[in-house]
Structure 1
Amino acid sequence: MKNLKLGISALALTVATTVFAQTTSNPWLIGVGAHGVNHAAAGGNAGDVFATAFGGGDGGELYNINNFTIVPPLSKLTVARNINRLLVVDWQTSVGNVDNKKIGMGKEFFLMTGLGLQFKFNGLWDEESWFDPYLRVGANYLRHDYTGVNFPLTDTNGQVVNGFSDNDPSSMRRADHFALATGIGSNFWITKNFGLGVQGDYVSTPVDNSALANFWQASASLLFRFGNTDRDKDGILDKDDLCPDTPGLAEFQGCPDTDGDGVPDKDDQCPDVAGPVENNGCPWPDTDGDGVVDKDDACPEVAGPAENNGCPWPDTDGDGILDKDDACPTVPGLAQYNGCPKPQEAWADDATKALDNILFNFDKATIRPESKEKLDNAAQIIKDSQGRFMIIGHTDKKGSDSYNLKLSQRRAAAVVDALEARGVSNTSLKSIGVGEQDATVPETASNAERLKDRKVVVKPADEATWESMKKRDY
Structure 2
Amino acid sequence: MKNLKLGISALALTVASTVFAQTTTNPWLIGVGAHAENHVAAGGKVGDVFSTAFGGKDMGELYSINNFTITPPLSKLTVARNLMKGLVIDWQTTVGNVDNKKLGMGKEFMLMTGLGLQWKANMLWNEESWFDPYVRVGANYLRHDYSGVAAAINADGENIGANHFTLATGIGSNFWITKSFGVGVQGDYVSTPTDKSTAANFWQAGASLLFRFGQRDRDKDGILDKDDLCPDTPGLPEFQGCPDTDGDGIPDKDDQCPEVAGPVENQGCPWPDTDGDGIVDKDDACPTVAGPAENNGCPWPDTDGDGILDKDDACPTVPGLAQYNGCPKPKTQTAIEVEGELKNIYFDFNKATIKAESASRLDAASTIIKNDGGNYLLEGQTDKKGSEAYNLDLSRRRAAAVVAALDARGVDASALKSIGVGEAKAVISESASDAERQQDRKVVVRAIEDATEWSTYQKSDVPVKAPAKKRK
Question: Residues of 1 paired with 2:124 and 2:283: CA distance?
Answer: 45
Q: 1:379–1:422: 8 Å Cα contact kept in structure 2?
A: yes
Question: Residues of 2 paired with 1:351 and 1:370: CA distance?
Answer: 17
Q: Residue 92 of structure 1 aligns to a residue in which SS? A: strand
Unmatched runs of 5 consecutive residues or more in structure 2: 458-462, 467-472
**Residue deviations 1:257-285 (CA, integer Å, cap 9, x gap):** 34444443333344444443333334444
Instruction: Give the C-alpha shift of residue 139 in structure 1.
Output: 2.8
Task: Name the residue aligned to 2:25.
Answer: 26
Q: Residue 235 of structure 1 aligns to a residue in which SS? A: coil
Aligned counterparts, 1:58-457, within 5 A: 65-66=63-64, 69=68, 76-81=76-81, 90-94=90-94, 103=102, 112-116=111-115, 118=117, 136-142=137-143, 171-172=159-160, 179-181=166-168, 193-194=180-181, 199=186, 201-205=188-192, 208-217=195-204, 219=206, 223-297=210-284, 300-301=287-288, 310=297, 316-320=303-307, 326-355=313-342, 357-361=344-348, 365-393=352-380, 406=392, 411-432=398-419, 433=421, 437=425, 455-457=442-444
RMSD: 5.5
Unmatched runs of 5 consecutive residues or more in structure 1: 154-161
Inter-CA distance 365–49: structure 2 relative to 1 (3 Å threshold): farther
Asked whether 1:57 is paired with 2:50, we answer no
**Residue deviations 1:16-72 (CA, integer Å, cap 9, x gap):** 97997698353432235665655456435666644544x4538x9999944884969
Instruction: Give the C-alpha shift of residue 234 in structure 1.
Output: 3.2
Question: Residues of 1 paired with 2:219 and 2:170: CA distance?
Answer: 39
Question: Residues of 2 paired with 1:126 and 1:286: CA distance?
Answer: 56
Q: 1:405–1:436: 8 Å Cα contact kept in structure 2?
A: no
Question: Residues of 2 paired with 1:319 and 1:193: CA distance?
Answer: 85
Inter-CA distance 64–374: structure 2 relative to 1 (3 Å threshold): farther
Report the residue type matching 1:114 in the other structure. Answer: T
Inter-CA distance 46–63: structure 2 relative to 1 (3 Å threshold): closer
Q: 2:98–2:110: 8 Å Cα contact kept in structure 1?
A: no
Instruction: Give the C-alpha shift of residue 365 in structure 1.
Output: 4.9
Q: 2:31–2:211: 8 Å Cα contact kept in structure 1?
A: yes
Report the residue type matching 2:215 in the other structure. Answer: N
Identity among equivalent pairs (%): 57
Q: 2:75–2:94: 8 Å Cα contact kept in structure 1?
A: yes
Q: 2:191–2:202: 8 Å Cα contact kept in structure 1?
A: yes
Question: Residues of 2 paired with 1:221 and 1:242: CA distance?
Answer: 35
**Residue deviations 1:361-390 (CA, integer Å, cap 9, x gap):** 566654332322221222232233331122
Report the residue type matching 1:232 in the other structure. Answer: D
Instruction: Give the C-alpha shift of residue 351 in structure 1.
Output: 2.6
**Residue deviations 1:146-176 (CA, integer Å, cap 9, x gap):** 6796x569xxxxxxxx9578x75xx2575x7
Question: Residues of 1 paired with 2:381 and 2:365: CA distance?
Answer: 17
Q: Residue 427 of structure 1 aligns to a residue in which SS? A: helix
Q: 2:103–2:199: 8 Å Cα contact kept in structure 1?
A: no
Asked whether 1:466 is paired with 2:454, we answer yes
Inter-CA distance 306–222: structure 2 relative to 1 (3 Å threshold): farther
Inter-CA distance 471–26: structure 2 relative to 1 (3 Å threshold): same
Report the residue type matching 1:465 in the other structure. Answer: E
Q: Residue 93 of structure 2 aligns to a residue in which SS? A: strand
Question: Residues of 2 paired with 1:446 and 1:133: CA distance?
Answer: 136
Task: Name the residue aligned to 2:469.
Answer: none
Question: Residues of 1 paired with 2:100 and 2:50: CA distance?
Answer: 17
Report the residue type matching 2:464 in the other structure. Answer: K
Inter-CA distance 252–452: structure 2 relative to 1 (3 Å threshold): farther
Question: Residues of 2 paired with 1:76 and 1:416: CA distance?
Answer: 132
Instruction: Give the C-alpha shift of residue 461 in structure 1.
Output: 1.3
Instruction: Give the C-alpha shift of residue 220 in structure 1.
Output: 5.9
**Residue deviations 1:394-432 (CA, integer Å, cap 9, x gap):** 667x85895997466554444333223323333323335
Q: Residue 358 of structure 2 aligns to a residue in which SS? A: helix
Q: TM-score, normalised by structure 1?
A: 0.68
Q: TM-score, normalised by structure 2?
A: 0.68
Instruction: Give the C-alpha shift of residue 197 in structure 1.
Output: 5.4
Q: 1:69–1:99: 8 Å Cα contact kept in structure 2?
A: no
Q: 1:349–1:458: 8 Å Cα contact kept in structure 2?
A: yes
Inter-CA distance 142–47: structure 2 relative to 1 (3 Å threshold): closer
